Amino acid sequence: MYRPGARPITEFAGTFILVFFGVGSAVFGLHTAGVVGVALAFGLVLLALAYAIGPVTGCHVNPAVTLGVLLRGGIGRVEAVEYWIAQFLGGIAAAAVLKLLTSSFGKVKDQTGALGANDWDGRITAQGDFLLEVIMTMLLVLVVILVTGRAAAPGFAGLAIGLTLAVIHLVGIPIDGTSVNPARSLGPALFAGGTALSHVWLYLTAPLVGGVLAAFLSPAFAQREPDRAPDPTGADVP
């Protein structure tokens, strides 16, 4: 049995791990791993986290997911706020470590040039990128809500969520690096500064809009809704 107070701490740790290893795969290995390697890194890390901490918190590790689950009644408002604080702090902490590793220890290079921060950078308009992030996040949050519902096949939710995030990154990395997660975007932007920081508003707002849309669309796909925080492993939350 887990203490309720442990859940925000677990969300902090989970978000730290997702951002450090996901963004880190681009910061340290973009030139060797490429788009496919970075996409798989994000997807596989989330898949592992889903089974590792899903029974504790539902493995949101993403403010947009928490918002979608909140709107579907799967989490209370106070706990959602605790999750959001923990998630943003986890993302910032992970970015701080990445910054430290690329600036203070030997000749480790930041292969993204901006600590993996998201930015449309002339490849697409801000309006187009906003729409892209809304659609990609809507898919991710919709999958999370549906596969963690009571009618879903138990034990396979984490696999579905991880693979969905990997596919989303295959689409989004060439355009803006893929956010779909405000906590993933804020930390790197704070340390990268410049246009990445001035444009971070898009990656804070668009994923939340996607989360809201997913919450309202999910009843059209699901027969029954969970009445507690969803668990990506398919098991009941303690």
pLDDT along the chain (238 residues), means of 10: 75 98 96 95 97 94 98 96 98 97 88 96 93 98 90 78 98 97 98 96 98 96 56 51
Asked if residue 1 is part of any domain, the answer here is no
The answer for residues whose C-beta is within 8 angstroms of residue 156's C-beta and 6 or more apart is: 147, 234
The amino acid at residue 180 is: V
Confidence at residue 237, expressed as pLDDT on a 0 to 100 scale: 42
pLDDT in tens, 172-189: 999 999 999 999 999 999
Task: Determine the Cα–Cα distance for residues 39 and 167; give it in Å rounded to an integer.
Answer: 7
Handedness of CA 15, 17, 138, 126 (dihedral sign): positive
Asked if residue 201 is part of any domain, the answer here is yes
Confidence at residue 232, expressed as pLDDT on a 0 to 100 scale: 58
Asked if residue 236 is part of any domain, the answer here is no
Q: Which domain holds residue 89?
A: 6-220
Q: How many domains does the chain have?
A: 1
Task: Determine the Cα–Cα distance for residues 39 and 33; give it in Å rounded to an integer.
Answer: 9
The CATH number covering residue 47 comes to 1.20.1080.10
Confidence at residue 221, expressed as pLDDT on a 0 to 100 scale: 86
Asked if residue 229 is part of any domain, the answer here is no
Three-class SS state of 153: coil
Written as one string, the DSSP assignment of 39-57 is HHHHHHHHHHHHHHHHHHH
Confidence at residue 4, expressed as pLDDT on a 0 to 100 scale: 55
Asked if residue 96 is part of any domain, the answer here is yes
Asked if residue 62 is part of any domain, the answer here is yes
- Which tokens go with 220? 């059209």
Asked if residue 228 is part of any domain, the answer here is no
pLDDT in tens, 142-167: 999 999 876 556 678 999 999 999 99
Strands (E), the chain: none
